[in-house]
Structure 1
Amino acid sequence: MKAYTIDLRQKIIDTYESEPISQRELAKRFRVAPSFVVKLLKQYRETGQLAPKSRPGRPRLLDAEQMQVVQDLVEAKNDITLEELCSELHQQFELTVSNAYLHGFGRSDVHFGSPFNMVA
């Protein structure tokens, strides 16, 4: 799920500061979860910031350019194997990527022509 916009966050803060309204009523008015309102108000009180916190997790191995190369390779050669994709990425970018990583990448970002290409 994507983070709520800064504009919505600002409206919630402004309404809370200008009107005598409970956090639950505020959540109902803006159609957000009450826990979101509680966390937003706490974050605003402690830091003065409205921006969403960065999400934890490991950064992607492939950047946008490299993902586009994979997409282009798959479109150019529909029956390309995962091993061939790994080899091509290593040749072009000196980047070592496992078959398992590309398999997961294929399910989310690249649409392979045949499900049989997904076998590692």
Structure 2
Amino acid sequence: MGKSHPIALRSRVIAFVEEGHGHREAARHFRVSPRFVNNLVILKRETGSLEPRRQGHVGGGKLNAHGDWMRGRLAENGELTLDELCVELAGRGVIVHRSNVGRFLHRLGLSHKKKPAGKRTSTPGDRTGA
């Protein structure tokens, strides 16, 4: 449920559906998406509430526990790529996508090498040919 909808609207939509109207009919009636209605019905069923779910990870994600280790690894070898960090994390039992590692490093204020040696783009001065 991307956009924030006032609780009053959420209450009216749920009441309309509980009166026996279909989800698509409720979506047309209240000018909201069918997905919003579906998600709202699921939210009500699972939580008993119409309050929006908390966004983001509770506790900050699975990498938080490895922040000190990652700082240490980058201090030892600042040449590690995101992919290499992912492989090392997998060895520690943490399966995570490279983009999550990159965002985590950014939050820690750390930088990293983007590409392995040999795969780096050339500088404008060392191009050959026209």
TM-score (norm 1): 0.44
TM-score (norm 2): 0.41
The structure carrying a bigger helix percent of its residues is 1
| Higher Rg of the two aligned structures | 2
